[in-house]
A = this chain, B = another copy of it.
Amino acid sequence: MNYIKNPAKIEEKSFEIIQQIIDDIRPDYTFQNKLEEAIIKRAIHTTADFDYLDSLVFQQDAIAKIIHVLQNKGTIFTDTNMALSGINKRLLDELGCQYHCYVSDPETMEIAKQHGITRSMAGIKLASLKDGPKLFVLGNAPTAVYKIIEMTESGELQADAVVAVPVGFVGAAECKEEILETDIPAIVARGRKGGSNLAAAIINAILITM
């Protein structure tokens, strides 16, 4: 069988096709800048879903804030192991960044049980205790997004930036609209769509392009 077997060529060709399709379906579409272009195209690359041309929102200089965390040995907190698994850890290690997913941590489970909250919410509480710049990358848990908003409003948490792209039918769209009402720097996928794969892809796009 005859098929492309060179990974670099496959990726290059994929982004060419994505641009061709955008030219075709949305000839007037323009990207605001190189970084937004990289993020939106990688979102489409990861999902084959052109809805992300319109649903991704960049609030309060979020990309610059994310780069600040990445360039200052900050910490990434994800809501799922899957999101963490998809992020390019080689590049994070080179930058000296840390990364955690607390969802299965024994301490998280204890906090969740004790307070009658989800493990995702408990994970945010745990993250708030850590020093240094903090970037939250959430593709799954609306309750984590709500917890960040609550703890920011009460002054218990300083989130440098949030990638808020939970997917789903209960609370996902709502929590994303809610964070857009705040001043928290955030990249948001409006509506029901999103996911751990998208969350990872957004971080990877920034890591590769910055």
Could you list which residues of chain A lie within 8 angstroms of chain B, going by C-beta atoms?
Answer: 1, 3-7, 10, 13-14, 17-18, 45-49, 80-82, 84-86, 116-119, 121, 142-143, 146, 149-150, 167-172, 174-175, 178, 191-197, 200
Contacts of A6 in B (CB 8 A): 118
Q: By CB atoms of chain B within 10 A, which of A5, A17, A146, A174 has the most?
A: A5
- Whether A118 pairs with B172 at a CB distance below 8 angstroms is no
Contacts of A168 in B (CB 8 A): 10, 14, 45, 48
- Whether B7 pairs with A146 at a CB distance below 8 angstroms is no
Q: Which of B14, B82, B86 contacts A169 (CB 8 A)?
A: B14
Residue of B nearest to A44 (CB): B169
Cα–Cα distance between A174 and B175 once the two chains are bound (Å)? 37
Nearest CB on B from A123, distance (A): 13
Copies in the complex: 2
Cα–Cα distance between A171 and B14 once the two chains are bound (Å)? 10
Given contacts A3-B143, A85-B81, A197-B82, contact A17 B170 (CB under 8 A): yes
Nearest CB on B from A207, distance (A): 16
Given contacts A82-B82, A82-B197, contact A4 B45 (CB under 8 A): no
- Whether B3 pairs with A142 at a CB distance below 8 angstroms is yes
Cα–Cα distance between A175 and B4 once the two chains are bound (Å)? 11
Q: 13 interchain pairs (CB within 8 A)?
A: A1-B146, A1-B178, A3-B175, A4-B171, A6-B118, A10-B168, A10-B170, A46-B195, A47-B193, A48-B169, A48-B172, A48-B191, A82-B197
Contacts of A5 in B (CB 8 A): 116-118, 121, 143
Cα–Cα distance between A99 and B84 once the two chains are bound (Å)? 19
Nearest CB on B from A197, distance (A): 5
Q: Which of B174, B193, B194, B197 contacts A3 (CB 8 A)?
A: B174
Cα–Cα distance between A4 and B45 once the two chains are bound (Å)? 32
Given contacts A13-B170, A86-B82, contact A48 B4 (CB under 8 A): no
